[in-house]
Amino acid sequence: MNVAIMGFGVVGSGVAELITKNSDSIMKNSNVSLKVTRILDIRDFPGNPFEGLMTKSFEDILNDDTIDIVVETMGGVKPAFDFVSSCLKKGKHVVSSNKELVATKGYELLQLARENNVNFLFEASVGGGIPIIRPISRCLAGNQISEIAGILNGTSNFILTKMIVDGMSFEQALKLAQDKGYAEKDPTADVEGFDALRKICILASLAFGNHVYPDGIFTEGISKITLDDVAYAESCDSVIKLIAKTKKLQNGKILVMVSPCFIKNDSMLSGVNGVFNACLVRGDATGDVLMYGKGAGKLATASAVVGDVIDCAVNDDKRKFFGWNEPKENMLADYLESETALYIRAEKADKEKINSAFGNIDFLTREGAAEDEIAFITPVMKEGELRNLLDSIGLNVISCIRVADY
Amino acid sequence: MNVAIMGFGVVGSGVAELITKNSDSIMKNSNVSLKVTRILDIRDFPGNPFEGLMTKSFEDILNDDTIDIVVETMGGVKPAFDFVSSCLKKGKHVVSSNKELVATKGYELLQLARENNVNFLFEASVGGGIPIIRPISRCLAGNQISEIAGILNGTSNFILTKMIVDGMSFEQALKLAQDKGYAEKDPTADVEGFDALRKICILASLAFGNHVYPDGIFTEGISKITLDDVAYAESCDSVIKLIAKTKKLQNGKILVMVSPCFIKNDSMLSGVNGVFNACLVRGDATGDVLMYGKGAGKLATASAVVGDVIDCAVNDDKRKFFGWNEPKENMLADYLESETALYIRAEKADKEKINSAFGNIDFLTREGAAEDEIAFITPVMKEGELRNLLDSIGLNVISCIRVADY
C-alpha cells in the first residue's frame, strides 16, 4: 500500500527511513507491502534519498487516489487539522504523532474517521515508541481503568534526574538539557508541564470515554523545585517526579492534573530516569501495569507511527469503535476535591500549631537547613481541606509538593 | 456474541465473572455484547452463580452453533489440544491462557486457525494481565526485535525477592511461597525455570517468526542460589533475577535460555519485585521497552483473556497473519556460542592463575566469607570459551551465574 508523509522533520524522516529499511520484516510479520510514495514539506531537501518524492502541494497527496494511508508528522494544529480532516473525508487512513492535534481536535477527527469508515490512529502521540494507546484501548479492554499516572515528558524527567543524581540546580540541569538538544530554547512547554498535559488528556479521553480538552486543567511544572526539596524527598526514601495523572473519583468525576510528586523509592515509577517515559495504568482486574521506554527520539517515535500504519494496512477495510465520545458537561473534578498528602516546606513555622492542626507530625530533616526551616508530610485529606488548614495556621509555605500513592 | 468457557478453575471462573461484571463497559468501549452461555468442567459447582451453564460434555460446546468464541482455561495439552483443534475446525474463535498448549502446539493451532479463517489468541499465556503478546506483535511491528528478556515467573521472583530483601534462605522463602499459595507442593516447574521456559518460547516464536519448542532448551532454575551469592551480587550493585531470554545472534541463529542472572541495580528489571513480572523488548527503532505488572492472579489473567475475547468479537470476520511459521532446522543457537560475563564463586582458588587466565580481575568481597573463598566477574566472552578457560585453571567452582547487560 502507498503511504504519504506530511512533514519531513525528525519523526517524518524516521518514518520514511523505517518503512524503507524494514519493509522485508514488515512483509514477513504482517503480510503487507508498504511504500512511501509522496512526502509533503515546504522545505527543500537536496541530496536526500527521498528527494524525488517531495512536494510542496498538499493537493498532490489529497488527490492521489493511489495513496491509502497518510502520516501526519507536521506538529501544530494549523494546518495539520485541515489537512488531516480533508484526508479522512477522502477515505484515506491517517496516522498522526501530533499530540497537540489529538489533544485539541481528537474527538472531531475520530468522528470524521468513523463517518468515512477509515482509521485515525495516534500511538506515537503519547510516549514515543512505548506502546501505550493500544494496550490501554485493546489489551485492557476487559478492565475498568481507575487511574493512569505517567512520567510523560522526557525533558523534565532528565532535568529532575540530574538534580537528584548529580545534585545540579534546576538552572544547571536545564542548561545541560538544552546543550544536549533535549530541551528547546524556550523550554516552557516541557518544564511547565504543558506537554505532559496534552498527553494525559489523550489518555484520559481514551480511558474514560469522553474528550478531555487541555484548557483549564491544573498544571504545575518543575521550575520551582529546588535541591532542598530533593534532599527532603530523599530523607523520606522518595524522589520527585513530574506526574501527569488522571483518575476516576468516587463521585464519578474525572480528575486530570499535572504536577511534581514525591514518589516512594519502591515504586516502579521512581526508577524511571533520564529521558525515559513510563505510564502506570491501574485497572480493576489487572492491578497496576507499567509500560516504560524511550519517550521520544526519531526512530522510537517513528516505530510507533509505522506500527499504526501497519495496523491501517492490515485492517484496511474497517476500524470500528476506536476512540472516544464528545466531552460531557461537568465531567471534570476540581483538583481540590481529590485526596492527597502534601509535602510542605515552610519558614518560621510554629511546630505546635502544625501538630494541633494535623495531629502529631514527623518532621523531616536535611543537612544544612536553616534553624527556622521546617518540612513535613501532611496526612491524606481532600486537597482543598488541607489547604484551608494550612492557611488557618498562617504557614509561610515555600514549597508544596503532592505525595503520590503508587 | 456467545462465549463458552472450557475449564472453570481460577482463570476460567475469573473470565466468567469479568465478562458478566464489566459487560456494560465492554459494550461502551468496544461496542460488542458478550455473554457466557456454556461452561465445561468435569467438576460440580453447586450454588455457583454460573451453575446453570455447566456441562460435562465437550460436544455441548462444539455442536452449539450459537457459540462464536471458546475460551480454553483448562491447562495441560490433553485434552485441551483436541478440544481447541475441534473448535477451530468448526469455525469458532479460540482464546487460550494455556502456556503449555501454546508453547508445544502453537504452530499447529495457528495453522488450523488460518485454514479456518478464525482467531487463535493467547495474550494471557505470558505475563498474566500484562499486555505483552499484542504489543510485541502489533505496536512493535515496524521494528526488528533483537532481544527479549523477561522476569516471567512470579513464584521464583517472589522467592528471590525474599532472599534479597529479607535475607531468607531459598528453603525458607520457598516454604513461605507455598504457605501463601504462590508455589505448588511440587514447585519444580516454577523454581527450576520450566514455566518461564514455556513463556519465553512463545515470545521467541512470535518475535522471530518460527516455532521454538521448549524441548532441549538450556534451562537453569534458582534452587542452587544461596545467600552468599546474593551478598556478592549486592557487593557489585546487582540483584539476582531469574531471566528468560531470547536473542538473535550475529550469525542469525536464535538463542533461547532461562537462567539466573546478575542484574545491575540501575536496570529497570532490578526493581521488579515479589510476584510481579516484567518483559523487556529491545527493538532496532524503539530501543528498550519494558512492560511490567502482575504476572498471575485470577482477575489479572482473566482480563487478558477477556481482552482477546473482545478482539475476536470486534474482528469476528477475520484475523490475518497473526502468529508464526513452522520451526526451521538449525535455527537455534547453542548457549555456549553466546557472549556473556560470568560471576564465579570458588573455593581454594589461586588468584594468580585467575589473573593470568582473564587479565587483572577485581575480586568481589562479602562479610563472613571463608578465607579461601574467592568471587569475581569474568570479562565478556563466548560462554564456551569462558568455560574452557575456567576448566583450564582447574577452579573448584561453587556458583556460576550469568551477568546480564540490561
Same domain, A145 and A279: yes
Q: Are the C-beta atoms of B314 and B8 separated by less than 8 Å?
A: no
Same domain, A309 and A344: no
Count other Cβ atoms within 10 Å, centred on residue A162. Answer: 20
Q: Residues with Cβ < 8 Å from B46, sequence gap 6 or more?
A: none
- Using CA coordinates, name the residue in chain A closest to B128: A286
Same domain, A144 and A262: yes
Beta-strand pair A381-382/A339-347: antiparallel
Same domain, A122 and A262: no
Same domain, B124 and B144: no
Its sign, for the CA torsion A214, A215, A218, A224, is positive
Burial A259-270 (b: 16+ CB within 10 A, else e): bbbbbbeebbbb
Domain with residue A262: its CATH number is 3.30.360.10
- List the single best residue of B28, B29, B121 to mutate versus A (max A Cβ within 10 A): B29
- The confidence score (pLDDT) of residue B123 equals 94
At B360-400, the pLDDT tens digits run 888 999 999 998 999 999 999 999 999 999 999 988 899 99
Measured distance CA(A47)–CA(A27) in Å, rounded? 28
Enumerate the β-bridge partners of residue A396: A347
- Yes or no, beta carbons of A142 and B306 under 8 Å apart: yes
Last residue within a domain, chosen from B294, B324, B346: B294
In terms of C-beta distances under 8 Å and separation of at least 24 residues, what long-range contacts does B388-395 make, across chains too?
B389/B357, B389/B358, B390/B342, B390/B344, B390/B357, B392/B357, B393/B350, B393/B353, B393/B354, B393/B357, B394/B353, B395/B344, B395/B346, B395/B349, B395/B354
Q: Are the C-beta atoms of B128 and B195 separated by less than 8 Å?
A: no
**Is A145 in the B-facing interface, judged by CB distances under 8 Å?**
no
Q: Are the C-beta atoms of A159 and A173 separated by less than 8 Å?
A: yes
- Yes or no, beta carbons of A294 and B286 under 8 Å apart: yes
Same domain, A165 and A285: yes
Nearest CB to A142: which of B26, B271, B290? B26
- Yes or no, beta carbons of A293 and B289 under 8 Å apart: yes
Same domain, A231 and A88: no
Interface of B with A in 365-404 (CB under 8 A): none
The DSSP line for A217-256 is: --B--STT--HHHHHHHHHTTEEEEEEEEEEE-TTSPEEE
Same domain, A158 and A57: no
Do the domain assignments include residue B31? yes
Nearest CB to B292: which of A26, A266, A268? A268
Enumerate the β-bridge partners of residue B340: B381
Same domain, B178 and B289: yes
Q: Residues with Cβ < 8 Å from A18, sequence gap 6 or more?
A: A299, A302, A303, A306, B142, B285
- Using CA coordinates, name the residue in chain B closest to A138: B307
- The confidence score (pLDDT) of residue B255 equals 98
Global ipTM: 0.85
C-alpha cell read off for A380: 491524606
Same domain, B47 and B139: no
* pLDDT at residue B272 greater than cutoff 70: yes
At B221-248, the pLDDT tens digits run 999 999 999 999 999 999 999 999 999 9
Nearest Cα residue to B95 out of A139, A132, A144, A317: A139
- The confidence score (pLDDT) of residue A319 equals 63
Concerning whether B248 is annotated as a catalytic residue, the answer is no
* pLDDT at residue B54 greater than cutoff 60: yes
Element (H, E) at B228: helix B227-235
Last residue within a domain, chosen from B260, B294, B328: B294
What number of residues does chain B have? 406
Which residue type is seen at B304?
A: A
Q: Residues with Cβ < 8 Å from A255, sequence gap 6 or more?
A: A245, A246, A247, A248, A249, A332, A333, A335, A337, A338
Do the domain assignments include residue B142? yes
Q: Omega into B379 within 30° of 0, i.e. cis?
A: no
Do the domain assignments include residue B180? yes
> The whole model's pTM is what?
0.91
- List the single best residue of B303, B312, B325 to mutate versus A (max A Cβ within 10 A): B303
* pLDDT at residue A85 greater than cutoff 90: yes
Domain with residue B86: its CATH number is 3.40.50.720
- Yes or no, beta carbons of B143 and A303 under 8 Å apart: yes
Do the domain assignments include residue B22? yes
* Residues in A touching B285 (Cβ below 8 Å): 14, 18, 22, 129, 299-300, 302-303, 306
Domain hosting residue B236, numbered range: 133-294
At A100-130, the pLDDT tens digits run 999 999 999 999 999 999 999 999 999 988 9
Which residue type is seen at A351?
A: K
Same domain, A144 and A273: yes
**Is B130 in the A-facing interface, judged by CB distances under 8 Å?**
yes
- Using CA coordinates, name the residue in chain A closest to B286: A300
Phi, psi of A59 (to 5 degrees): -60, -30
Domain count across chain A: 3
At A344-369, the pLDDT tens digits run 999 988 888 999 999 888 899 999 99
Domain with residue A384: its CATH number is 3.30.70.120
- Using CA coordinates, name the residue in chain A closest to B293: A289
**Residue A58 DSSP symbol:** T
- The confidence score (pLDDT) of residue B318 equals 67
Indicate the pLDDT class of residue B320, thresholds 50, 70 and 90.
low
Measured distance CA(A375)–CA(A395) in Å, rounded? 11
Measured distance CA(A297)–CA(B288) in Å, rounded? 12
Helices (H) then strands (E): counts for chain A: 14, 15
At B55-92, the pLDDT tens digits run 999 999 999 999 999 999 999 999 999 999 999 999 99
Measured distance CA(A293)–CA(B388) in Å, rounded? 38
Which residue type is seen at A357?
A: A
Burial B196-230 (b: 16+ CB within 10 A, else e): bbbbbbbbbbbbbbebbbbeebbbbbbbebeebbb
- Yes or no, beta carbons of B135 and A140 under 8 Å apart: no
Q: Are the C-beta atoms of A230 and A240 separated by less than 8 Å?
A: yes
Same domain, A16 and A51: yes
Indicate the pLDDT class of residue B132, thresholds 50, 70 and 90.
very high
Count other Cβ atoms within 10 Å, centred on residue B83. Answer: 21
Report chain A's terminal Cα–Cα distance, integer Å: 44
Do the domain assignments include residue A351? yes
Nearest Cα residue to A297 out of A87, A101, A124: A124
Q: Are the C-beta atoms of A403 and A340 separated by less than 8 Å?
A: yes
